[in-house]
Structure 1
Amino acid sequence: MTKLSRLFAHTGLALLACACGSARSEGAGGEGGAGTSGTTTSTTTGVGGGAGGGLGEHPVEPSTPTRGGTMTFTNVGAPGWWPRRIDRAPGDPACDYKDGTDTWGGHCCMKEQHTTSTTLAPFDEEMTLVMKAIRLKQLAVYQPGASAASWSMVSSWDAQSGHGSNLVVTEGQMTSADFTGDLTKKDCVNYFMQEASFPCGDGSDYYCPDDPGINHLGWSGSKLIVFLGSMMFEDAEVQKCDGGGQGHPGPWVAFVASELIRDGGRKWNGLCNCYSKTGSVGDGCGEINVFEVVLDNNPYSNREFMSTGVRAYQAGHVGGNVCGEGCDRDAFADDVEVVDACAQSAYASGPEIEVGGDADGCPVWRRPVGDRYFMILLDEQRREIQVAVIHPERIPAAATEMLPSLPGGLSRETVDALLSMRLPE
């Protein structure tokens, strides 16, 4: 373990604290209460809005071309268990992990949820996309179809139409047909899910909060999320979610277990959720901080770099390096996307991180200037998670079937090619 990784491990939930701290300042809307603006849902198809018909190319703002970058997590998935909140009365024997109280004094019943899956588990479970402080232009979600030979676009959104297909975007409880894609004006957390509602049952399997805005299906099994967007804006223009002054200006993209946001507080119910078995690192139901600019006013913070970390019961915290106050963006060439925070050098080839094993240094991202394609690909077949940042003017050969057109379907060959990218090449 590198010195920087050890340093980060001692901080425990440093990145979670960053996200949680900003969310707790959001007010009821950001935490699942009676809320603020919220939901986008549509079935528009065709250019600029259709899952089946693809999205088509979107205009981008010119910026200095970069060589792109990838972080590849291998050996993902193992049998194990995590604590799952269920809706049972105090004293029920099903509460075999916890029979106590949640963060706000209500009853908390949790059971041990076991899986024998080895293919991506627990990330083969339903997952929900989370975003804040991003300017979004396009979003597409692909999953395998009836045949393993092809993947289909199952959810999408495009700024040119302002509508999506099989997609719900919610900040609070209220719904709206309008969604501009600009998430930089307030520090609210936004949740992206499928249109279909989560089927609430008798509480034997999942806890089901009284929270219609969040009770929608996530994406299970293998999945590919790709979006076009920007993370550059004036920090001072970001307001608190509920108004009243300067908000937290740190961009954040996460992909989390859907049951984690159904904990009764939209992920912030610290005493009653599936995040951790031990109360320290996230050795529970699964969370991926896909891209996070850490701004906590401590030595780990630096607005010019982004962190990527994977957390689950298999190995606790994996990756999640931070560059911290000792890193200088200008120490790297303008075309560099991914750097080694420990060695203070740019990667010649995209780093690999083995879950439960070794890592190629301490990879972090330089915060992009201008539009980028951001990607996270979780594949059961190869037990890998591929995270990528691609400049629109330097699309690698492996991604040309997908970018910039974002078609309605992808071949398995393209999925394999995306997993095999080691950018820069």
Structure 2
Amino acid sequence: RAVILTPDHDTPLTPLARLTTHQPHPHLITAPEPAKPRKSVFVFPGQGSQWEGMARELLATSAVFAATMEECAGALAPHVDWDLPAVVSGAPDAASLDRVDVVQPALFSMMVSLAAVWRSYGVEPAAVVGHSQGEIAAACVAGVLSLDDAARIVALRSRALLRLAGRGGMMSVPLPQDEVRDRLDRWAGRLSVAAVNGPRSTVLSGEADAIGELHGELTGAGVKARIIPVDYASHSAQVDEIRDELADLLAGIAPRPAEVPLLSTVTGDWIPEGVTDADYWFRNLRDTVRLEDAVRRLLDEQYDAFLEMSPRPVLTVGLQETVDETGADAVVGGSLRREQGGLGHLLSSVAQAFVRGVHVDWAAHFTDTHAPHTDLP
């Protein structure tokens, strides 16, 4: 399989000629090996993939994206006092993405809208998986939560996190989780393993000063640890302070039967019917995110294409680490990149998945343009 993506009708001749002679070209997308049918997983990350203006281009160029974003704005409206389109398009007077109660609902809306665009091209997930707050979007796309319930969870839970702001921090450490845990004895009760994203991708959370101390120790030893720009500590003991508040805020959530299987990164197992209630969404915020375990489970069950639904890829490194360590033949890909938020880059991501075996219904994309089939030389 090969895809040529060009800005006009005259340009394809050169990349087509390069294809016949097995040479690369910027507009030519191929794969190193023949494509085989894939079982796709939509992956929804937590916080960290945001950037200013991340939805500006797609809102103007993708009708599916814009319509889904409008639905998300309507679902969020009863719970927020800011304008979603203004935030995701980077309007000058928009609420700041530095606020947890803004960035989490905004990212939720981005992820749900990106998933809708992928599906409009005929890319249907055989399963979904979500990381931390991303599991709310995953549950919505899976049909486990209605859009209204999902919007309520992400908006009210992120607002409750404001109580913890200024006291915590998080840090990404490129080391195996066991090696990281061995270093935590000095900060017992003050630091926790927040997430295990891959064999050498671990995230810590806890008290801000303890994060700073360990960061200094790690970087001094040559470890490229990175402070995550948040001022609260998800997946740590600090979250226990808002347990009762969340129980009240999220009472009445009505889980539904899954339309797409959802693998939990809280339990490491498939979500059974009726489990995603208020208590589950507290545990999703409090417990360690078991992404590596979830991916290994998916690989064992022959899922072999992991497509990240986000404004920029933040989980692909950990996903690829797990794929490489298991020796699986699996595809790992993203959707957009920072400052590359247009339909052109998204189509490139779809094409990258297609040449590796993911089913794409290209005719769906060309319906409005009446594009003809053309005989190739």
TM-score when normalising by structure 1: 0.24
TM-score when normalising by structure 2: 0.26
Which is helix-richer, 1 or 2? 2
Larger radius of gyration: 2
Which is strand-richer, 1 or 2? 1
